[in-house]
Each structure stands twice: as C-alpha cells, then as structure tokens.
C-alpha cells in the first residue's frame, strides 16, 4: 500500500530518519508474511517502540481490521482488533453484500498516535478514521471519525505545514482533498493522476521525500494484471512524472506461483532498510485455485536519496536484511500468527481474539463454559443456516464462529456434544468463504420415511471455480456413537482437496471419512476479495428446534505451506 518515509511533520510514520541501529543479517525467509486471508496490507514502523505494525482488510467479518505487531519482521502477533465493537460501525447490521464492508485500510503513526483510515462500503460508502494511543488494547481504539470519502482506499498524509490530506480512488482517478481531524469536514478535490493506463487505479499512498511528493497506486484490478506503479512531483498537485520503469512491482505475465501482486505499501526499519508489503494469491497464472484468497507478502526494497524505490519481485523464498530475532512484545489481545490453535474454552476465558463471526454475532448465542458444561462453547441454534434464505437479513445472525485457514495443508478438529430433538436441528463444521460458498459437515436430525434419523450430512453451497459435479453425502450416525461426543474433522490433504471426517471423541481410531471436496469450490466467484475460514456452527435450518450444541477441544494445526509449484515448507 502506502510508501513510508522520513519522520517529519509531513508524515504519519515515525521512521525515515531511524534513531535506532542494530545488527542485521541477510537471511532467507518464505512468503506469505501473513498467510491466509490478509488482503490490502498497510504497515508502519514506530521508532520509539522499535516495532512494526501492520493492518489488513476484513470486509464484513467481525472483529475486523486486525493490527499485528513485530519487533523483527519475522514473528508477528495480534496486538488488537481496531474494529471490535458495534458502536464503531453500526451499519454492519444492515450491510447485506458478501464482499461489502471494510475496504483497504491505511495505517499511519503521527505524533504519538496511530491513525487507521478506511472506506466502509455498506448502504452508503463512508470514510472512517480510527485512532489509538495504545495499539495493544482493543478498547483504546476510538469510535471512528466519519467523513465524506471520495470512492475507496483512502490514504492519510500530513504535509509540512500540518495540513491533513486524504488521497483516494474514484471514477478511474486518484483524488486528493483536505480533512479536518476534529469535524470530519473535507475540502475541495484535486485530481492527481490516473496511472499508466491500467484499469482501476486505486490503493493510493502519498508521502514526501527528498523534495518530492511520491504517489504509489495499484492498477490492473486485483487479478492477474495487478501491478504497482508510481509517479512523483515537486508540487502536491502535479505535474506528475511517472517512474520510467513502471510497474514498480508486479508478477503479471509471469509463470510464478505467487500472482496478483499489488496494492503495496513501503516502510523503513530502524536500520534504514526499506521493505514492501503487498497482497498476492498463491494460484499460479491459471488463477483458479486459491482458497486462502489474497494474502500478505513481504519483499526487500531499496530507496536511494532523490531516486525511485526498487522492490525485489515477490517469490516464495527470498532473502532480506532482517533485524535480530526478538519476540519481546507487550501481551496484547491475541497470540502469534504462526502457531496452532489449542482452545479449550476454560471457565473465565474469552473467545480468542483471532476468531471471526460473519457480521455481528448475537452475543447471547455464544457462551463459554456455561453452567453444567465446563470447557465448552455453547452455540445456540440460529434460525437460519449458513446460506440463509430469501428473507434473511444481515442482523438475523448466524451461530457460526471461525478462524482463517492459514495453511495450505492443515487439520482442524472440534468435539461436538449435540442431542437434537426436532427435525432439521444441526451442528457441524465448515470451510466457509461466503454465505453463497461453503462446504459443511453437520450432525443433523433428518425426517425420513422411517422416522427421525440422526445423520452426518455433507453438502456444498456454491461452486466457485469448480466445474465438476458437486459432492454430497448423507450417512447415518452409527448406533454405537449416538449419545457420545463426536469429533468432526476437516483436513486439507493437498492444495486442492479437503477431507471431512467424523469419529467418537474417545475412540478416534474409528474415524470415518464422510466426504471430499475440491478447493476450487471456495475459490473466486462470490468471495474473490476474501479467503476461506474454518469453524463450527449450529442451526435449526429454519425449523422449530432450539437445541444448543456444545463444542470443545478446538484444534487447528498447520501441516505445510506450498510456496512454489511442488514445494512444501513447514507451517511453523
């Protein structure tokens, strides 16, 4: 995304004239930096904390706008969720689009405060500016200042005289205007640049360096033609001199495994080294199979005085001048990104900060360790299933809790204690992209000609980029399993196949495979901007049932990342 520069009154980020200096070593690393659905990254280095911070888009998932922190660019943890309470964005309750919501944030740090600016696409498009003086505390993030954004992808920039400018994308053009940080009032629009001719010039970031205003934007759409381009000017409004060797960053027209590279940001570390983050899909040029969606990648860069930045092309394995390993960070709200889930819902604990709901949850439908059921999460059955129905409204709520799929290969399991009484009551697990694209394995009470039958039901909603026959299966729960806690499992056994299985929780050797599904089903289509999540749900499927499900022993473990064709590396 944006380009960060030397600390001055004109920049949000305290970084360009680094006050810290530490030994670095050129070492190998692998992409993605943030695996799984982490699109539109924006980062800032805060010199007084010697810490890097990054944020990514979350659309209609809640909580949203995760802020990650790192001291060494290698070990990242979830510091806080910027968007963490309904008072911040009430419109999420009436936002019905599966790809609506929070688009493309920009993160900046200015005079001791974090600023996160973003566009919200709901019933109306709004500009939102969140602030915080403590990045490790959800509650420290403000309710946003609303302003009349022009289009999408706003960037915020302080000029030398202290004037605050927003730069955003609208009508195939990059526009800029002032913003009053107290009232939200915006000023007249200046038209800056529309790029080099690629479609959808967007994702602008502007900053001042060596007497130039540099403007970096994304072009080509967030598909195979995606690229990052740049222009500069001696004055804020132009004329603009394009970089002679545009694009600055792209994998378009290549056979690389990492594709759609763009929507980038530049930042400088405490030793003066420059880095770029961008979004990318691990799809190869076929751009068909990418269930994890758009992920965050990291690339070393160089930026000499008075010159243009140079960014290394994105690859699965790269080298860069990293700071020494350092995991000393404040506690924060969440854990490290690259670690397995071992969640037991102990009494007094909270639902982990990296878990997501699809829009706002009905909080009373999710109870940790309710009376009589310690070490479980009680899911009250939502009336609608994951797909909903024609009369489904965004605020009806889904009893669905998830975490991102962050590994090419993984195993996810959860124990389900569920004793349905009424036909169509169901509890299960899902690979979820949107309400129109998901793959489910449920324990469901079905009405048959012989009466009620407790069954495993494997079914698919949508087809994404998959063109074959859609899988489905209904299998009676073995009699000897009934009344027991059932362990449901989703395993990504390759980059193209999910396997869904069930077993008695106390006798897992009896595991039965119920269904298999191609990952193309949860690639593209209604979820082109997002990525797959895995989790658990409970529903009455529109019926009269109200039996809750109790889930326990939540486990997710990454078992490999594919970083190039035929090359798998460990997840952790």
Give the C-alpha separation, 164 to 10, whole Å: 9
Catalytic residue among 138, 202, 256, 341: 202
**In the chain, what are the domain boundaries?**
41-330, 338-569
Give the C-alpha separation, 96 to 568, whole Å: 38
List, as one string, the DSSP characters of 228-255: EEEEEESSTT---EE-TT--SB--TTS-
Structure tokens at 155: 């960037």
**CATH code of the domain made up of 338-569:** 2.60.120.200
Cβ within 8 Å of residue 472, ≥6 positions away? 458, 459, 460, 515
Catalytic residue among 40, 72, 256, 341: 40
Burial of residue 124 (CB within 10 Å: 0-12, 13-18, 19+) is exposed
Encode the chain (572 residues) as per-residue pLDDT tens digits.
433 333 333 333 333 333 455 666 789 999 999 999 999 999 999 999 999 999 999 999 999 999 999 999 999 999 999 999 999 999 999 999 999 999 999 999 999 999 999 999 999 999 999 999 999 999 999 999 999 999 999 999 999 999 999 999 999 999 999 999 999 999 999 999 999 999 999 999 998 999 999 999 999 999 999 999 999 999 999 999 999 999 999 999 999 999 999 999 999 999 999 999 999 999 999 999 999 999 999 999 999 999 999 999 999 999 999 999 999 999 999 999 999 999 999 999 999 999 999 999 999 999 999 999 999 999 999 999 999 999 999 999 999 999 999 999 999 999 999 999 999 999 999 999 999 999 999 999 999 988 999 999 999 999 999 999 999 999 999 999 999 999 999 999 999 999 999 999 999 999 999 999 999 999 999 999 999 999 999 999 999 999 999 999 999 999 999 999 999 999 99
Give the C-alpha separation, 116 to 68, whole Å: 13
Give the C-alpha separation, 288 to 523, whole Å: 7
CB 410, CB 418: distance < 8 Å? no
Give the C-alpha separation, 475 to 456, whole Å: 5
Is position 341 annotated as part of the catalytic site? no
Give the C-alpha separation, 132 to 149, whole Å: 21
Per-residue pLDDT at 304: 96
Predicted model pTM: 0.94
Is position 564 annotated as part of the catalytic site? no
Per-residue pLDDT at 357: 98
Give the C-alpha separation, 417 to 549, whole Å: 6
Give the C-alpha separation, 352 to 383, whole Å: 25
Cβ within 8 Å of residue 466, ≥6 positions away? 518, 520, 521, 523
Give the C-alpha separation, 519 to 496, whole Å: 5
Reported CATH class of domain 41-330: mainly beta
Decide: helix, strand or coil at residue 419.
Answer: coil
Structure tokens at 218: 């994304």
DSSP state of 86: G
Give the C-alpha separation, 502 to 444, whole Å: 13
List, as one string, the DSSP characters of 22-76: ---EEEEEES-SB-SS--S-EEEEEGGGTEEEEE---BTEESEEEEEEESSSS--
Instruction: Note the residue count of the chain.
Output: 572
Give the C-alpha separation, 481 to 136, whole Å: 45
Burial of residue 560 (CB within 10 Å: 0-12, 13-18, 19+) is middle
């Amino acid at each position: 995304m944006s380009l960060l520069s030397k600390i001055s009154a004109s920049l949000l980020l305290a970084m360009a004239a680094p006050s810290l200096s530490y030994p670095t070593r050129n070492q190998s690393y692998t992409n993605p930096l943030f695996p799984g659905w982490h699109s539109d990254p924006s980062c800032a280095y805060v010199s007084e904390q010697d810490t890097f911070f990054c944020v990514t888009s979350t659309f209609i998932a809640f909580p949203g706008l995760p802020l990650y922190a790192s001291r060494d660019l290698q070990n990242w943890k979830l510091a806080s969720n910027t968007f963490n309470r309904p008072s911040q964005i009430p419109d999420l309750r009436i936002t019905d689009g599966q790809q609506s919501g929070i688009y493309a944030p920009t993160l900046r740090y200015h005079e001791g405060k974090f600023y996160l600016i973003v566009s919200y696409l709901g019933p109306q498009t709004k500009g939102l500016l969140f602030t915080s003086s403590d990045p490790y505390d959800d509650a420290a993030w403000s309710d946003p200042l609303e302003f009349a954004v022009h289009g999408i992808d706003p960037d915020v920039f302080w000029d030398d005289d202290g004037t605050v400018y927003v730069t955003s994308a609208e009508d195939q053009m990059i526009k800029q205007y002032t913003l009053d940080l107290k009232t939200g009032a915006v000023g007249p629009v200046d038209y800056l640049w529309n790029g080099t001719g690629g479609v959808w010039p967007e994702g602008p970031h502007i900053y001042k360096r060596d007497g130039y205003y540099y403007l970096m934007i994304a072009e080509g759409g967030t598909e195979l033609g995606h690229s990052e381009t740049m222009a500069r000017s001696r004055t804020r409004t132009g004329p603009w001199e394009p970089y002679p060797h545009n694009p600055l960053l792209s994998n378009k027209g290549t056979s690389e495994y990492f594709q759609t590279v763009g929507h980038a940001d530049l930042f400088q570390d405490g030793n003066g080294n420059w880095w770029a983050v961008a979004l990318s899909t691990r799809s190869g040029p076929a751009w068909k199979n990418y269930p994890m969606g758009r992920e965050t990648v990291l690339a070393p860069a160089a930026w000499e005085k008075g010159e243009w930045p140079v960014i290394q092309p994105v690859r699965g394995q790269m080298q860069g001048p990293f700071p020494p390993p350092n995991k000393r960070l404040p506690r924060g709200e969440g854990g490290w990104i690259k670690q397995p889930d071992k969640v037991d819902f102990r009494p007094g604990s909270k639902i982990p900060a990296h878990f997501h709901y699809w829009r706002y949850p009905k909080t009373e439908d999710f109870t940790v360790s309710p009376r009589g059921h310690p070490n479980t999460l009680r899911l009250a059955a939502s009336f609608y299933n994951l797909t909903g129905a024609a009369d489904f409204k965004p605020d009806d709520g889904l009893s669905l809790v998830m975490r991102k799929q962050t590994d090419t290969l993984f195993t996810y399991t959860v124990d389900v204690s569920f004793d349905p009484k009424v036909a169509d009551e169901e509890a299960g697990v899902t690979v979820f992209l949107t309400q129109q694209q998901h793959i489910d394995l449920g324990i469901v009470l079905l009405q048959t000609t012989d009466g009620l039958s407790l069954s495993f039901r494997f079914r698919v909603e949508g087809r994404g980029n998959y063109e074959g026959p859609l899988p489905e299966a209904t299998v009676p729960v073995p009699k000897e399993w009934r009344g027991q806690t059932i362990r449901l499992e989703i395993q990504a056994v390759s980059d193209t196949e999910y396997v869904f299985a069930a077993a008695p929780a106390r006798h897992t050797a009896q595991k039965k495979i119920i269904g298999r599904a191609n990952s193309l089903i949860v690639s593209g289509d209604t979820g082109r901007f997002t990525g797959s999540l895995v989790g658990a749900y409970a529903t009455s499927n529109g019926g009269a049932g109200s039996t809750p499900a109790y889930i326990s022993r939540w486990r997710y473990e990454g078992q490999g990342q594919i970083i190039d064709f035929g090359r798998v590396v460990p997840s952790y």
